[in-house]
Structure formats: C-alpha cells, structure tokens
Amino acid sequence: MSKERASKSAVIFLFLIVAGLTPLSYGQVKPAAAGTDNMLTAAEKKAGWILLFDGKTSDGWRSPRSDNFPEKGWDIKDGMLCVQALGGGESAAGGDIITTKKYKNFELLVDFKITENANSGIKYFVDPDLNKGSGSAIGCEFQILDDIHHPDAKLGVKGNRTLAALYDLIPAENVKFNGIGEWNTARILVKGIHVEHWLNGQKVLAYERSSQLWRALVAYSKYKDWPRFGELPEGHILLQEHGSVVYFKNIKLRQLP
C-alpha cells in the first residue's frame, strides 16, 4: 500500500469514529403507499415537505450547463425520472440534472431503483460553475451503484465508492440494500456543517463538513483541487446521468431551520 493510500485509510478510520456521534433527530417519512407516488399527505404538507418532482414534467429541474432540461439521456414515464442507457460515461450523454433552486439546511428523500451494473448518484451543495469541462458537476455525492458488478466499487479506499458512501471520501456502514430492480430510499440530512446519509431507514454515515478531519479527507480525494469543496453555504441538488439505467421517484424535501 502506498503512503498516500495508507494515510487516507487512517484519516477515514478516524473520521468514522468521530462523525457518528452527533445524529440529527428528525422524524422519518414512511415509504409512499401504492398509488400515492409523487404526492404529499396532509401531514407532510403541514410539516413543510415539498415535491421536487411531480411525476409528469421536468418542472424544477435543468441541466447544470444551461437553463433547459437535457434533450436526451432522460425519460419521464410512469411517474419516474429515468436515466437512459447511453454508454456508461459520466454525464456524457444528456448530462446531469440539477434543481433550479438552491438549498441550505434540509432533509431530502429520494426513491431510486437500479439495474445491473448501474452507476449514478445524488449530489448536494452543487455549484454548476465549478466544472466547465467534461464530466459531472461538482458537489458532495450520495453514491448509487451496483456494488457487485460495477468496477467502481473496488476502487477508492475502504469502500468509499460503494452504495450510499459519500463518494471518494467516506464509506457507508450497515448498508441494507433491497436489491437490483427493487426500490430503495436515500435520505440526506443537512443541518449546518453536520450531514448524514441514510439508506432504507438505516443511518450509514455522518460527517462534519468544514472540520479539520473533513479537509484532510478532501486533500486525499479526487476533489482536492476544488477550492473549499463541500463547504458552500448552499447549493443545488443533482441527479447524475452516468449512461446506465436508473429510476427515481418520490423526490421530497423540507427545509430545516
């Protein structure tokens, strides 16, 4: 093992010990019942939840590189946002999509379903102006991946590129995956510098962005050349197009104080 890889492993190990000690205490939303996809209950509306996807249109979403929704790479059908199979490259077909609005403190829920060998992600604190070249827009990423078949699962350090990980930074623990072809629910909580990833009702990681440990992790990651990565006060939410078939629905958010 190289010195750099060993150092990064040590940083990740220390981060995992520290970061899981400060959970947020917001109540969970139950999965949508049959026939209620892309809808809010009266209780959800009262609690401040909003839909980011209405199940029918691209309203509220655009390309990171323009004000328009991509002309290819995505379908909207049967109440789902669907990434098309167009080669597997990172944002190489239609490209990613981002919310038209920015968000600061929030709780986000996204139902997703993957196919074999799929690769995608949910990003947050995205600044579409950072990366003007090829590839995906820059932001913190909740990894969506077929860990069994996709080679990216074996890259990175200690599993930090596997399902529900903070991509290339922090691995997920206690992951309960419902399986390929089944619906899973991603949950992302942001309160100031504290962030949590959840999968199917199980907290899988937590971290404090802007901390000394955070900056040490970034320094050993693919994001080391992006200034103050992950420390924006607010940013867009992104769904990644990586050329493999992935489905999204029930995309809900509520802003937190």
For the chain, the domains span 3-255
Tell me how many degrees the CA angle 39-113-141 measures, rounded to the nearest 5: 95
> Can you give the chain as a three-state secondary structure string?
CCHHHHHHHHHHHHHHHHHCCCCCCCCCCCCCCCCCCCCCCHHHHHCCCEECCCCCCCCCEECCCCCCCCCCCEEEECCEEEECCCCCCCCCCCCCEEECCCECCEEEEEEEEECCCCEEEEEEEEECCCCCCCCCCEEEEEEEECCCCCHHHHCCCCCCCCCCCECCCECCCCCCCCCCCCCEEEEEEEECCEEEEEECCEEEEEEECCCHHHHHHHHCCCCCCCCCCCCCCCEEEEECCCCCCEEEEEEEEEECC
Give the phi and the psi of residue 22 in degrees, each rounded to 5.
-130, 70
159 contacts 16 by C-beta, under 8 angstroms: no
What is the model's pLDDT at position 94? 80
Rounded CA-CA distance 12/216 in Å is 9
Q: Which residues of 189-224 are buried (b: 16+ CB within 10 A; e: fewer)?
A: bbbeebbbbbbbeebbbbbbbebebbbbbbebbebe
Query: Token digits for 120?
Result: 């995608």
What is the model's pLDDT at position 12? 55
What is the model's pLDDT at position 224? 95
Rounded CA-CA distance 42/45 in Å is 5
- Mean pLDDT of successive 10-residue stretches along the chain, which has 257 residues: 55 51 51 80 97 98 95 95 82 86 98 96 95 87 97 94 98 97 98 98 97 96 93 96 94 97
What is the model's pLDDT at position 21? 38
Largest CA distance in the chain: 55
What is the model's pLDDT at position 20? 46
Cα Rg, the chain, nearest whole Å: 17
What is the model's pLDDT at position 18? 46
Evaluate whether the domain defined by 3-255 bears CATH number 2.60.120.560. yes
Locus of tokens 């802007």:
210
What is the model's pLDDT at position 174? 96
Instruction: Supply the pTM of this predicted model.
Output: 0.89
Give Cα 214 to chain centroid, integer Å.
18
